[in-house]
Amino acid sequence: MTKDIKETKEVKEVKEVKEVKEKKIEKVEELPGVGAATAEKLKDAGFHDLLSIAVTTPRVLAEVAGVGEAVARKIINTARNSLNMGFESGDEVLKKSEKIERIKTGSKELDRLLGGGIETGTITEFYAPFASGKSQVGFQIAVNAQLPKEKGGVNGMVAFLDTESTFRPQRIKELAEAQGLDPIKVLKNIRIVHCFNSDHQMLVTEKISDLITKENLPIKLVIVDSLMSQFRADYIGRGTLADRQQKLNKHIHTLQRLADNYGVAVYVTNQVMSKPDTFFGDPTEPIGGHIVGHGMNPRVYLRKGKKGTRVAKLVDSSWLPEGEIVFKITEKGIEDAEV
Domains in the chain: ranges and CATH: 2-82 (1.10.150.20), 96-336 (3.40.50.300)
Alpha helices in 114-228 (DSSP H): 134-144, 169-178, 183-188, 198-213
CB-based contacts of 205: which residues, under 8 Å, 6+ apart? 161, 222, 224, 251, 254, 255, 258
Q: Are 190 and 157 in contact (CB under 8 A)?
A: yes
Name 194's bridge partners.
Answer: 162
pLDDT at position 17, please?
47
- Per-residue model confidence (pLDDT) at position 246: 93
- Burial of 107 (C-beta count, 10 Å sphere; 0-12/13-18/19+): buried
Its pTM stands at 0.83
pLDDT by position in tens, the chain (length 339): 555 555 555 545 444 544 444 456 878 888 888 888 888 888 877 787 888 888 888 998 899 888 889 999 999 999 888 887 778 899 988 888 888 999 999 999 999 999 999 999 999 999 999 989 999 999 999 999 999 999 999 999 999 999 999 999 999 999 999 999 999 999 999 999 999 999 999 999 999 999 998 899 999 999 999 999 999 999 999 899 999 999 999 999 999 989 998 999 999 999 998 776 665 667 789 999 999 999 999 999 999 999 889 999 999 999 999 999 999 999 999 999 986
Segment (H or E) for 52: helix 50-54
Distance between CA atoms of residues 156 and 174, nearest Å: 19
Pairing, β 323-330 against β 309-316: antiparallel
Which pLDDT score is estimated for 4?
56
From 146, 167, 177, 133, select the one nearest 335 (Cα to Cα).
133
pLDDT of 2 reads 56
